[in-house]
Amino acid sequence: MAHPSTYKPSTGIERWFDSRLPLPRMMHDQFMVFPTPRNLNYWWTFGGILSFMLAVQIVTGIVLAMHYVPTPEGAFDSVEKIMRDVNWGWLLRYAHAVGASMFFLAAYVHTFRGLIYGSYKAPREILWILGVLILLLMIATAFMGYSLVWGQMSFWAVTVITNLFSSLDTLIPGLGTTLVQWIWGGFSVGARTLNRLFALHYLFPFIIAGVVILHIWALHIPGNNNPTGVDVKTPKDTVPFHPYYTIKDGFALVMFLILFGVLLFYAPNFLGHADNYIEANPLQTPPHIVPEWYFLPFYAILRAIPDKLLGVIGLIGGIGVLFFVPWLDTSRVRSTSYRPIYKWFFWLFVIDCVALGYLGSQAPEGWYLFFGRLGTFYYFAFFLIIMPIVGLIERPKKLPGSITQSVLGPESKRPTETPPPRTAATAGEGVACGTLSTFAAALLAALAVPGAAFAEDAGNGHGSEIKAQEWSFAPPFGHYDRAQLQRGYRVYKDICANCHSMRLLSYRNLGEPGGPEFSEKAVEVLAAQAQITDGPDDKGQMFQRPGRPSDRFRSPYPNDAAARAANNGALPPDLSVMAKARPGGPDYIYALLTGYAPSPAGFEMTQGMQYNKAFPGHQIAMPNPLVDGVIPYTDGTKPTVDNYARDVSAFLMWAAEPKLEERYKLGARIMIFLLVFAVIMYLSKRAVWARLHRRDHADAT
């Protein structure tokens, strides 16, 4: 909103700087005294939250890029090495991964707020278009970043999504195939593809930042919309952005960071998929490809349309239609609050988007496919049919005469003896109580999909016989049992290491804080028990030597071909991150190791397979590795299968999350700080907005 400058340089240096580069004047006029509608609620705080999250993603991404190796051979391991060997690497990586989900959560809330209050209507069409462009760039950036992990799910997501361009062959023969090969840099997803995605993923956030600047610029020309949709008419309708909205946005940001912190420190993998902790294998397709939760509504649209080309058009159109919303909505009223018919269609649209997110996580068959098509129809019908028609036939409610009137009521009815019951300050306080419910509702909508995906995994056999166990390392205040980890290492070494490698761990890790914490001498002895192939020596020959603490855990086989040959063609998986590569984590590993049993009557077993209650399909090639008494314990623990399974499950959890205790401890400190800071910010906000109480009361009297 254009307004006269009130900046007055107070020193000679400020006057000199202002006459040459008036940056302080711009900051003062546009971010300090900028006139802002007095009735903005907490839905408007997500714009500032998004700016903060963009900064988090850029900063963490730059540091992560310094350690990432963009090659098929090194990508997966480099991500894990960041988590283990880089100082605070686990914090950077988890903040970046969880931050992407929080970024999209805030972006979707921000977008729905724009739809609720008609923030796309004149004169804010360019503002809206730039916002949709930012969302489109976010989706592209997140997709490319998702591929960089080079896990099973991300690899095949890249393969499937990029291969969609081949549908253009139906329009111009050869065009789609040529485009796909150009994107891949060859005939399949590989090194060139990964390198290109890495380069673009690094570049795009800076492009987003540039568009964000344009977005803010476009906002400051007409000024903010507001919940009534009524334009600013008098100076009483506005308040300076600072301190009123800086303190209010600050309080909302702290509340958002509490939610961010809970996921970051206590459930960093909750929004992800376990298969992405399995290194990419071009020869093995996952049974069900599920992208990240923020892609799922559009993924559901893609799969709901049976024709490949039309599905791609639907996928692109799901985002592209948002660009035309300012002209599709024919109503002269901005805010949904004053549109009694449209309001019901809008909230049905919100439910439809959440439902599409859930359906996108399920296999496209049966009722899931039917409701996916129904949801896709309503998604496009809302924009292309409902918006234009309802806007013409609907009779809106009467709008308030001004923003001030919507807050204080008609002037003739305002009390003169006591402070008004609902001023801008009390309006803000009223919404403050609803802030947590707003965040919670948005989070539940976002988290419904990963939960549903886990339930599906359970139904497919991953968790049908899995019961939650009590572990000493359970959040938020858990810790590893040192004696249990030491026993678990012995079970791994004597049983599991005969077939399974653990290439991401070194013997020195056994003595580090937060793990088994073997003594320095014990680590040297344990490492020396392994014979390591080294060389070449001066004669060019490879030789064997005792292991050192700096060596990686010795693999039982020289290469994958030898491992397959020794196991009837099956490749025993590496156990470094096994506790994160299976839904249920240590609960699944424990259930698997204790789940061997005779097959039920009538259950057809394949020759050479073993029946297991926890394994998907209940048939597993690995024989039962544990027998009571096979490994003697020297600390008084009973040498039973149950204890073996429990101990090695805990050890594998530590192997996958060696910084877990550090994460919990830092999380506790930060959460306490944020909670205390939230109280301080809330009280400060009350004090600041109380000024408006007093001013309104003085004006009324």
* Residue stretches of the annotated binding site for heme c: 496, 499-500, 622
Residue 363 contacts by C-beta under 8 Å, 6 or more apart in sequence?
288, 456
Task: State which amino acid sits at residue 295.
Answer: F
Classify residue 680: in a domain, yes or no.
yes
Half-sphere exposure of 208 toward its Cβ, with a 13 Å CA cutoff?
A: 25
What is the rounded average pLDDT of the residues 12-40? 92
Task: State the maximum Cα–Cα separation within the chain, in Å, rounded to a whole number.
Answer: 101
Q: What is the pLDDT of residue 570?
A: 84
Classify residue 521: in a domain, yes or no.
no
- Integer Cα distance of 244 and 249 in angstroms: 9
Beta strands in 212-324 (DSSP E): 238-240
Examine the domain organization and report whether 154 and 27 are in the same domain. no
pLDDT at 205 exceeding the cut of 70: yes
Q: Are 403 and 237 in contact (CB under 8 A)?
A: yes
Q: Alpha-carbon torsion 239, 684, 695, 435, what sign?
A: positive
**Residue environment code for 617-640, b if the CB has 16+ CB neighbours within 10 A, otherwise e:** ebbbebeebbeeeebebeeeeeee
Classify residue 500: in a domain, yes or no.
no
Q: How many C-beta atoms surround the C-beta of residue 94 within 10 A?
A: 19
Whether residue 616 is preceded by a cis peptide bond, meaning omega within 30 degrees of 0, is no
Classify residue 287: in a domain, yes or no.
no
What's the gap between Cα 69 and its chain centre? 22
Residue 407 contacts by C-beta under 8 Å, 6 or more apart in sequence?
38, 39, 422, 423, 424, 427
CATH code at 272? 1.20.810.10
**pLDDT > 70 in the chain, percent:** 92
Classify residue 58: in a domain, yes or no.
yes
What's the gap between Cα 84 and its chain centre? 21
Q: Are 101 and 263 in contact (CB under 8 A)?
A: yes
Examine the domain organization and report whether 13 and 121 are in the same domain. no
pLDDT at 46 exceeding the cut of 50: yes
> What is the reported pTM?
0.91
Examine the domain organization and report whether 22 and 47 are in the same domain. no
pLDDT at 276 exceeding the cut of 70: yes
pLDDT-wise least confident of 81-95, 100-114, 410-424: 410-424
Q: Are 244 and 36 in contact (CB under 8 A)?
A: yes
- Integer Cα distance of 289 and 285 in angstroms: 8
Strands 238-240 and 35-37: antiparallel
Strands 543-546 and 610-611: unpaired
pLDDT class of 413 with cuts at 50, 70, 90: low
Higher pLDDT, 346 or 422: 346
pLDDT class of 451 with cuts at 50, 70, 90: very low
- Return the axis-axis angle of helices 75-85 and 46-67, rounded to nearest 10°: 100
Q: What is the pLDDT of residue 414?
A: 57
Spell out the alpha helix ranges (H) of 382-481.
387-393, 403-408, 424-459
In the chain, the number of structural domains is 2
Examine the domain organization and report whether 442 and 350 are in the same domain. yes
Task: State which amino acid sits at residue 548.
Answer: R
Residue 259 contacts by C-beta under 8 Å, 6 or more apart in sequence?
102, 439, 443
What's the gap between Cα 467 and its chain centre? 27
Classify residue 373: in a domain, yes or no.
yes
Examine the domain organization and report whether 154 and 223 are in the same domain. yes
pLDDT per residue over 324-340, tens digit each? 999 999 999 999 999 99
Strands 531-534 and 238-240: unpaired
Examine the domain organization and report whether 91 and 165 are in the same domain. yes
Examine the domain organization and report whether 13 and 41 are in the same domain. no
Q: What is the pLDDT of residue 409?
A: 75
Measuring CA to CA, how many Å separate 565 from each of 472, 574, 620? 39, 16, 18
Determine phi and psi for 531, rounding to 5 degrees.
-95, 120
* Residues making up the chain, counted from first to last: 701
Q: Are 591 and 465 in contact (CB under 8 A)?
A: yes
Classify residue 171: in a domain, yes or no.
yes
Q: Are 191 and 71 in contact (CB under 8 A)?
A: yes
Q: What is the pLDDT of residue 443?
A: 45
Range of the domain at 134: 34-280+296-453+665-700
Residue 237 contacts by C-beta under 8 Å, 6 or more apart in sequence?
37, 38, 402, 403, 404
pLDDT-wise least confident of 112-121, 433-442, 675-684: 433-442
- Integer Cα distance of 305 and 312 in angstroms: 9
pLDDT per residue over 340-368, tens digit each? 999 999 999 999 999 999 999 999 999 99
pLDDT at 453 exceeding the cut of 80: no
Strands 610-611 and 238-240: unpaired
* Residue stretches of the annotated binding site: 496, 499-500, 622
pLDDT at 560 exceeding the cut of 50: yes
Examine the domain organization and report whether 95 and 14 are in the same domain. no
Examine the domain organization and report whether 159 and 219 are in the same domain. yes
pLDDT at 446 exceeding the cut of 50: no
Examine the domain organization and report whether 132 and 93 are in the same domain. yes
Examine the domain organization and report whether 256 and 222 are in the same domain. yes
pLDDT class of 694 with cuts at 50, 70, 90: confident
Q: What is the pLDDT of residue 693?
A: 80
What's the gap between Cα 147 and its chain centre? 14
Task: State which amino acid sits at residue 57.
Answer: Q
Q: Are 612 and 461 in contact (CB under 8 A)?
A: no
Tokens representing 154 are: 């991300």
End-to-end Cα, the chain, rounded Å: 30
Q: Are 482 and 526 in contact (CB under 8 A)?
A: no
Examine the domain organization and report whether 346 and 405 are in the same domain. yes
Measuring CA to CA, how many Å separate 494 from each of 409, 488, 517, 610? 78, 10, 19, 21
- 3-state class (DSSP) for residue 87: coil
Task: State which amino acid sits at residue 460.
Answer: N
Measuring CA to CA, how many Å separate 418 from each of 430, 628, 658, 696? 19, 79, 61, 11
Measuring CA to CA, how many Å separate 410 from each of 155, 336, 601? 61, 22, 79
Mean pLDDT score across all residues of the chain: 90
Classify residue 530: in a domain, yes or no.
no
